[in-house]
Chain A
Amino acid sequence: MASEDSHNTVGVADPDPIIGPGHTFETVTDKISSIVLTRPVTPGWVFGLLIAFSALMLLNLVVTLLMIKGVGIWGIRIPTAWGFAIVNFVWWIGIGHAGTLISAILLLLHQKWRTSINRFAEAMTLFAVMCAGMFPLLHMGRPWLFFYLMPYPNPMWMWPQFRSPLVWDVFAVSTYLTVSLLFWYVGLIPDLATLRDRAKPKAAKIIYGMLSMGWRGSAVHWSRYETASLLLAGLATPLVVSVHTVVSFDFTIGIIPGWHTTIFPPYFVAGAIYSGFAMVLTLAIPIRKFYHLEDLVTARHLDIMAKVMLATGLIVAYGYLLEAFLAFYSGDQYEIYMMTNRFHGPYAPLYWMLISCNIIIPQLLWSRRVRRNVGLLFVLSLVVNTGMWLERFVIVVISLSRDFIPSSWGMYYPTRWDWATYIGTFGLFFTLFFLFIRFLPMISIVEVRSLVHETNEEKGHS
């Protein structure tokens, strides 16, 4: 259908298109919906899901053990009373930020290239926030009393203690999760309707039908849909900045050297976007390969994302530089010690690894050749993900392990249950992701179609 009529195809003239040549409305819809509806279950997918699900069961085991025995199964201690749980919390929530940035801010900024990656970036956000959200709950000494952190009328006449940034976290993260979910779901509705219309099995028809909430594609629907999307984008935009700012308050409000610094909010937000884009790349590169989506998620997409990584990486580098500078400039002996301890202390190798992963190695992205080299880009995305995880480790653990009174210093070593919890959340994340790519359109059909339309319009006019 697509091949016979070159009128509707995207211009061959564009040397670096954001959508592959030869796409029409039909081909886009076919290509994306077929992954869900007609493509048989592949052994690769099953194998991937099995691994992810095993890790999820590991999480199940850890959580059970945690509830039975207590947080003592982790390596946390006095003075380092926060460990992997908080590191992972910040890391996962940071990852989520790319999705929101792509779907909300870039929507408002009319960045067309976002269309083909925003759906799964949003899904990634959602799943990452789910993983992140588990940690604050699990790391509590008595998680069954988590509701003490919520303001609710109770006979004790007790409210949360609103000066604590942990309470702000509750609001920030729960708002973030809610808005992300809504945004993602609203965006899905027209595509769900498409699936409903195309699905053959009755069950699928019914399920997609219910999920598409009676979408008929009428002009009124479209009008409402556009308005809702814009409104949600408007709502989500400040969240990109606020959530990680609030998360950074968890540290800045404390008086521990290495935590108590004003640079954290901007540098946390930049770091979040940095790691988020790295994660989008980590996910996009294999998916576009396995599902042959190279013409929807093109080399240009990867290039742009690499550029965003480079830019945010530089902001993060500036943060590190300033953090070190201010520590020495302050003349405060504890701050100075904190920095020298990062440079030379027992955890110094991790600090230098962090600097390599987050600052030195990503400078390769200045080269266009590197940005266009898919394999290298994938490796780089993993490097940045590791680097950002290390950054949180450095902030949380190194700062706590040596603060003010040397008699109380102590090393934190993760136990196998620390690792198991971390790996377990990967299990959750990837299980959800594997299910997502199998049961929902991982690229927005509607938006790519409108992109096809727009590109054709442009071509028509020229």
Chain B
Amino acid sequence: MSEDSKLKNSIDLVAARAKLAGAGAPRLWQSLEELSGTPQSQEFREYEFPPIAGKGNDEINRRDVLKLMAASAALTGLSACTKLPTEKIVPYVRPPEEILPGRPLFYATSLFQAGVATGVLVESHTGRPTKIEGNPEHPGSLGSSDVFSQASILNFWDPDRSQSVIFDGRVSTWSDFSAAMGDARTISPKGAGLRILTKTITSPTLGAQIRTLLAQFPAAKWHQYEACGGDSVREGARLAFGRPVTTVYHFDQADVVVSLDADFLTCGAGHVRYARDFASRRDLSAGPSSKLNRLYVAESMPTSTGAVSDHRLPVRSADVDDLARQLAAAAGVAVPPSANASAKIPAAWVGAVGRDLAAHRGSSIVIAGDHQPPFVHALAHAMNAALGNVGKTVVYTESIEVSPVNQLESLRDLVNDLNAGHVDLLVILGGNPVYDAPADFDFATALQKAKLRVHSGLYQDETAELCHWHAPAAHSLESWSDGRAFDGTVGIVQPLIAPLYDNHSAHEVIALFTSDSGKTGHELVRGYWQSQRPEKDKAFEALWETSLHDGLVAGSALPAISVAPHADFVSVGQSTAAGGDPNALEAVFRPDPSIGDGEFSNNSWLQETPKPITRLTWDNAVMIGPATAQQLGVTTGDYVTLTLAGRHLDAGVYIVPGHADNSVTLHLGFGRARGGSVGTGPGFNSYLVRASSAPWIAPGAQIAKTGKKYSFASTQQQYNIDHDGHQVDEESTAAMGQGGEHGRDLVRIATMEEFRKDPSFAKNPEEEDTKNLTIYPGFKYDGYAWGMSIDLNRCIGCNACVVACQSENNIAVVGKDQVERGRAMHWIRIDTYFRGNLDNPEMYYEPLPCMQCENAPCEYVCPVGATTHNAEGLNDMTYNRCVGTRYCSNNCPYKVRRFNFYLFSDYKTPSLYGMRNPNVTVRSRGVMEKCTYCVQRINAAKIRSEEENRLIRDGEIITACQSACPAEAIVFGNINDPNSKVAKLKAQTRDYRLLEDLNTRPRTTYLARVRNPNPEIHD
């Protein structure tokens, strides 16, 4: 309607009259529009009659007809001449080497987190990567992994991954892209307008390529930005030593560890290795004579590291500076006290820690959190030096990064250049700065000032949307690359499969600008190493093969260097010191424990992984402590507006017991606008209030209630249970009163002192008696009898087992709504309990897989015999037989059974078919499922051993959870063999069974937790 009226309004009647009056007036006319010759009428004609529009009065003449006839006749003839190529279908006469259907192969490669490589082994079934394990050879893994490595397999098969080159919103091709880049580089011969933005890079090959590029275009600039990178770590080292060295810690040699807001067990470079080393010092296999280390943690947000500590001090992140000064002073570092010393740091605590550190010179570690300011890092370095730890527990190497720069400043430079219009071509390799750059940079606006914008990434994300070109980046599992681990060891990244789509690695993109253009990733990476190594030809070939096989270049770890802190760093660092009013509310930004800085936000496994301590899934929140919540009058589920330096964020409040007062923790990585089908939506975008002036700890946060409510999906409601097992109040989240005579005794705890006095504190003599209270003869196990032991003293609650199990056993994801309804499907869960007061409770983890009971309550209630006891003591689940009465779940006292209330498994997405473990049934709707102790792995080992006519060796079967566990808390094996590791662990005095008084006689048993508190501290 409006279109019509517009047309009519724009009719030029004067022109129409003139036309009719003129010499060439048409004899007949159709409309006023035609006469007036308005552009609309022209458009209309072209639209309505495309073939004749423009032709004017031209008619098809005889010649045209003949031409067309000739052409079609010729074409018809040509097509008839085409000879179809002969396709021969031949079965495998000589099958591809080593590939046997049904028998997986393992390839060593590396995966990256914030640029740091971690070695992994990838399980491949007939050419499809299906499962990621740690690489035992790799120093950063030692065979273990973490949630991110485990979940990377889903990222790889993610149907939302970018699949084709995009130009201006339309599908294009890689060759068009390379041609365009070839043209682009000729725009400015010296590359004055060329900018390259990458994430942190430790890849020697890529580093060399970029250097070549910069040499070729001297005026070009290379910027790096990582939203949750190690700027503070680098700057701290620069402050202390004058250059950004890398610090490597040896937790296995540390008797006393002080963490200044550092969650070194679950995030940051080398955390998998650190967890392993740390757990090795929580080992109690020597009984009461074992020597435990002691961990002090001062932190604002409770983390896994805080949960396993012996003493945890909740302090505002900003007050850690004050604490560090006091500790440093105690350690003999000359540092003035903080200008605004906080009364909140108990002097007794500092004193006791200081004395403990002093008593362990050379065998202690002080470690600062990645988000602490550089000054705290420098102080930690100074303390380590003063305590004589350097060279023993703390080792320095040259930076593992190719170019260790202050990335925030690097991005600031880029933004300035963009705003000044200096940028002709911006190439963004990985990363998503439009989403995760500091809010005050307004990167989206700045970005659009670049004349040509190119993005290479795994997803068509927020940044890709604003770029002209988007080239799908290759995932680590489908490309060649290399990278350094936390200690500098170079891992070679090799593809498990040809790129699924039109994917190309950063190496190939950079090559487009240099003389390497057109080379494959393989040629580039191999070529680089060939040029670097002294070995030639055959010797190099052998080295290359070995490096690929092992997943690392032997002996490539960076050597230790000797550096000493500058004497004057204190005065230099003063200006950067944090502080502020101790009663003001601070906001602390942290990468999310499950999805990191947003890189994994489209990963449904990680979204649904209950975060440590909070057990929250599918969301981040304004996390605050109970006291602050009371003060503000808010509670979990209140929807609030958080204001920080004039920026606002609307989000739900979540109360976390043990969170420091006057502090708010905001996890990053959520609230994506273009995060894919999973990542778009969940949570709140904390980047909106993150400014470059305070990227980690921002003072002056304000919280205002909106009156609205928000619902969180947590897998464990936090109950407060007193010693009688009464539930006191659901909302006050506090301690689970184990211990005592009346508690449920689910988590058994003692201090080292108590353990020495009573090594069998975990045993309950009454419970021991129940073993004989049956009139039925027990099962006889002549062969194997599988069992598991979980050491609560080692467990760090990192969730690696949860995601590993999900990957190994094709466990479905259910979504936030279903998690809220109590239908999460995890076969192993990490129960979390609190003990003590709300503000600083002790926290306990308890991983709970199926107990594989000897007297299983699930078995006898199943009406159809779908869950049965097998000859090796497992409670087998026969999915085909299950009719879904759910009686077994009701009768399971441990509630480890999971039910497919709907069709939770994704039967529709083709790309996910490739990811699934072919040895595990994908469960359909209406059947019960549960942990099977990875029965597919047991059976594979049995087949192998029977082929070789031997018994299964101890340690030959490693369950998925056990394999992933960086702390080696889970041990599985044959309990019929008294020499097996698991049997020995079960013989320890700390061994106990959950709910033993029910006489279920579980096969999974626990080793009780022993804390090693400092007798001087009473908290």
Contact = CB atoms under 8 A, between A and B. Distances in A.
Contacts of B928: 141
A140 B889 contact: no
A407 B901 contact: no
B736 interface: yes
A45 B889 CA distance: 45
A76 interface: yes
A77 interface: yes
A337 B725 CA distance: 7
A405 B746 CA distance: 8
A299 interface: no
B925 to A, nearest CB: 5
A449 interface: no
Contact of A76 (B721, B886, B900, B994): B886
B885 A158 contact: no
Interface in A340-385: 340-341, 344-346
Nearest to B927: A141
A276 interface: no
A272 to B, nearest CB: 21
A403 B887 CA distance: 14
Interface stretch (B216-224, B585-593, B859-867): B859-867
A238 interface: no
Contacts of B832: 407
Given A141-B926, A400-B890, A406-B719, A161 B857 contact: no
Interface in B655-709: none
A161 B890 contact: no
B864 A161 contact: yes
Interface string A220-261: 000000000000000000000000000000100111100000
Contacts of B730: 346
B901 A72 contact: yes
Interface string A110-143: 0000000000000000000000000010011111
B748 interface: no
A206 interface: no
B925 A141 contact: yes
A405 B893 contact: yes
A405 B831 contact: yes
Nearest to B746: A405
B536 interface: no
Contacts of A78: 822-823, 889, 895, 897-899
Nearest to A80: B822
Interface stretch (A11-19, A163-171, A278-286, A313-321): A163-171
B822 A141 contact: no
A166 B884 CA distance: 12
Contacts of B870: none
Given A78-B822, A79-B890, A149 B895 contact: no
B877 to A, nearest CB: 13
Nearest to B884: A141
Given A72-B823, A142-B927, A405 B894 contact: yes
Contact of A405 (B821, B860, B861, B895): B895
Contacts of B863: 148-149, 160-161, 164, 166-167, 170
B890 A142 contact: no
A146 B883 contact: yes
Contact of B822 (A79, A149, A250, A403): A79
A70 interface: yes
B717 interface: yes
Nearest to B886: A81
A145 interface: yes
Among A141, A142, A344, A346, chain B packs the most CB atoms within 10 A around the CB of: A141
Interface string B875-915: 00000011111110111011101111111000000000000
Given A337-B726, A404-B998, A405-B831, A77 B823 contact: yes
Interface centre among A70, A149, A345, A407 (most CB of B within 10 A): A407
The winner among B717, B829, B883, B995 for most chain A CB atoms within 10 A is B883
Contacts of B881: 148, 158
Contact of B864 (A82, A149, A405): A149
B902 A72 contact: yes
A71 interface: yes
A408 interface: yes
Candidate in B730, B832, B895, B927 with the most chain A CB atoms within 10 angstroms: B895
Nearest to A166: B863
Given A71-B884, A167-B863, A333 B742 contact: yes
A203 B135 CA distance: 83
A341 B724 CA distance: 12
B880 to A, nearest CB: 9
B1005 to A, nearest CB: 15
A164 B325 CA distance: 67
Contacts of B882: 141-142
B457 to A, nearest CB: 36
A250 B862 CA distance: 11
A410 interface: yes
Interface string B820-839: 01110000010111000000
A448 B900 CA distance: 54
A39 B843 CA distance: 76
Given A142-B884, A164-B860, A254-B857, A81 B899 contact: yes
Given A69-B902, A161-B865, A164-B860, A408 B895 contact: yes
B910 to A, nearest CB: 23
A161 B866 CA distance: 9
B883 A256 contact: no
A255 B890 CA distance: 9
Which residue, of A250, A406, A409, has the highest number of chain B Cβ atoms within 10 A? A406
B716 interface: yes
B556 interface: no
B751 interface: no
B727 interface: yes
Contacts of B887: 82, 164, 166, 250, 254
A389 B887 CA distance: 21
B998 A333 contact: no
Contacts of B891: 254-256
A242 B882 CA distance: 28
B744 interface: yes
A241 B831 CA distance: 44
Contacts of A333: 724-725, 742, 744
Nearest to A399: B890
Contacts of A402: 727
Nearest to A406: B719
B886 A161 contact: no
B906 to A, nearest CB: 15
Interface string B913-930: 000000000000111100
Contact of B716 (A72, A163, A254, A407): A407
Nearest to A146: B883
Contacts of B862: 161, 164
A253 B888 CA distance: 12
A75 interface: yes
Contacts of A404: 744, 893-895, 995, 998
B884 A148 contact: no
B438 to A, nearest CB: 39
A165 B736 CA distance: 35
A82 B822 CA distance: 13
Nearest to A251: B890
Contacts of A408: 716, 894-895
A278 B928 CA distance: 38
19 contacts: A72-B818, A76-B886, A77-B821, A78-B889, A79-B895, A81-B889, A82-B890, A139-B886, A141-B901, A159-B865, A161-B860, A163-B860, A254-B887, A255-B998, A340-B726, A344-B726, A400-B890, A405-B744, A407-B848
Q: Which 5 A-B pairs have the closest CB atoms?
A: A141-B884, A141-B926, A77-B822, A72-B901, A408-B895
Given A82-B887, A140-B885, A141-B925, 10 more contacts: A145-B883, A160-B865, A164-B861, A254-B891, A255-B891, A345-B727, A404-B894, A404-B998, A406-B736, A408-B894
